[in-house]
Amino acid sequence: MRITGTGHASMRIDTAAGSILCDPWVNPAYFGSWFPFPDNSLLDWETLGDVDYLYVSHLHRDHFDAEHLKHFISKKATVLLPEYPTSQLEDELRELGFTSFFKTKSDEVHELDGGLKIMIQALISPTDGPIGDSSLWVEHDGVRMLNQNDARPTDLTRFNELGHVHAHMLQFSGAIWYPMVYELPDAAKTAFGKQKRDRQFDRTWRYIDDLKADHVFPIAGPPCFLDDSLWKFNDIFGDEGNIFPDQSVFISEYAKVGGTNGVVLLPGSVSELSESSISTTHPTDVDEFFANKQAHLEEMRERKAPVIAAEKASWRHPEIDVLGAMKKRIEPLLEESIYMAQGVGGPVRFDLTDSFGPDGNVVESIVVDFPGKQVRPYADEKVRYRFKTGRALIEHLIHIDEGDWVNSLFLSCRFSAARIGQYNEYVYAFFKCLSEERLQYAEGWYDEHEKAVEAEDTVLGDWTVQRRCPHLKADLSRFGIVDGNVLTCQLHGWKFDLPSGRCLTSVGHKIRAEKTEKA
Ligand code: FES
């Protein structure tokens, strides 16, 4: 089996029974904010795109690059489709010209021509990707690999059942706006960023330990930020609170926990993998490349400046009535929302500026009033969350009829945020569900999730607690750690106060816990 690195979470897998291209991403994503790092735009995409199969793990724009798929990937390729509750991924691929689809069943092994075996595990909670994220397992001629990409299954049991895995590709770096966009003192931001960075690595070690593959490939990040206003997010300033460590940092952190089987793929690197060996060649010296990271980014920044300028020009439209358009789109959804509206539990304010981000003058303030089920002008009230961003960006979202503001505005990091109280997952879940189909799906999921009675318990230290995490059902007998009266679920780092059952990380999500009686 040959694995060719094609940047970020993308790779091409070649076997004697056919080739699979995964998540090809080249064009900037999320309002021109994220670029692939290292740069992969100079690869021979005509050749790379001439494949038998295409796998797009999910619709996040750093995995689904419509422009690139349209122009460079063979339409003869058969799409290996994850089993998602909505047809959006298939619909969007059809629109780009793909006509051949192999619809997989989640967690089921499928045998393709020539004995190529694949399995796609689809995760479908409202917090998984843009409602859906997935991993691809491949086996050919006794060699097995798991491209976990940035999916976060509660554990890797299903893959372990299929036999020893030789290559494990997984995410290790950040892919979110927290804590950078929050309006916090610098010291707090650094402390939260450091916690987040440590937690990302802990989660990665746990997955690696779970699968115990022969070789571990750090993929799916970090992106790089080339626009002047976002340049500060690149991990080149020695900031321990930066959540975007790169592959070379992964290798050194991995070594600290005893990991010696890490393989870094640059765009154009090739690993030849067998049951007992691996050999990897690179287009340039890897250590030298990372030692010169800043120069690489600066060169990219200059080369991509026209791309960013063209993106920005595309956000300018004749003025749109933002309040009227938000009312029209959001009020009917607020009316139908039970779980998410209750979960948010307060007004969310959008301060809109005259720039393309949080800087500049606020020209309009709009409130999405979840309890009142209304979108209206801000009325000098206390709000649960406040977002500050460019009015032009919201106008653009309205103009392109965007139904997922997480997969566009929030991931762009072109905003600032403040909140009263804890993190509230429902705020972001709601703003990724600005369509009838998505809203109904998410509400239904929460309904089932809330009603699921988690009868099973597990014992952790002196405590008997419900076995499944109230967040996304991780098995706490594996992911739970108790320190005094606080339980931490290591999957996403949520904390719970055991005597009261209160979730210390987010609103709601109470845990059932009792001190175990000592005999
Ligand atoms: S499943 Fe997310 S913190 Fe437990």
* 465 CB within 6 A, ligand 1: no
Which ligand 1 atom is nearest residue 474's CA?
1
Question: The tokens of 141 are what?
Answer: 């001629």
pLDDT in tens, 74-131: 999 999 999 998 889 999 999 999 999 999 999 999 999 999 999 999 999 888 877 8
Task: Report the relative pairing of strands 53-55 and 18-22 from DSSP bridges.
Answer: parallel
Token pair 């909670």 in the structure block, residue: 125
Query: Phi and psi of 353, rounded to 5°?
Result: -105, 170
The response to whether residue 189 sits with its C-beta less than 6 Å from ligand 1 reads: no
Ligand 1, from 128, 133, 423, 489: best to mutate by most atoms within 8 Å of Cβ? 489
Q: Of all protein residues, whose CA lies closest to atom 1 belonging to ligand 1?
A: 472
- Residue 447: what residue type? D
Across 262-272, average pLDDT: 98
Over residues 157-194, the pLDDT tens digits come to 999 999 999 999 999 999 999 999 999 999 999 999 99
The string of pLDDT tens digits covering residues 404-455 is 999 999 999 999 999 998 889 999 999 999 998 888 888 888 877 776 645 6
Give the length of the chain: 519
> 503 in ligand 1 pocket by Cβ < 6 Å?
no
3 state DSSP class of 295:
helix
Q: Is the CB of 472 under 6 A from ligand 1?
A: yes
Residues 297 and 291: beta-carbon distance below 8 Å: no
pLDDT at 269: 98
Could you tell me if 347 and 381 are in contact, meaning their C-beta atoms sit under 8 angstroms apart?
A: yes
Distance 346 CA to ligand 1 centre (A): 24
Render 352-410 in DSSP notation, one character per residue: EESSSSSSS-EEEEEEEETTTTEEEE--S---SEEEEEEHHHHHHHHHTT-S-SIIIII
Cα–ligand 1 centroid distance for 430 (angstroms): 19
CA-CA distance, 30 to 35, in Å (whole number)? 9
Tell the residue nearest (CA) to atom 2 of ligand 1. 492
* pLDDT tens digits for range 25-46: 999 999 999 999 999 999 999 9
> What is the pLDDT at residue 452?
60
The pLDDT value given to residue 518? 64
Ligand 1 centroid to Cα of residue 377, in Å, is 36
C-beta 489 within 6 A of ligand 1: yes
Which ligand 1 atom is nearest residue 479's CA? 4
Question: How far separated are the first and last CA of the chain, in Å rounded?
Answer: 56
| Residues 6 or more apart whose Cβ sits within 8 Å of residue 255 | none
Which atom of ligand 1 is least distant from the CA of 505?
Answer: 3
Q: Is the CB of 491 under 6 A from ligand 1?
A: yes
Distance of alpha carbon 289 from alpha carbon 87, whole angstroms: 41
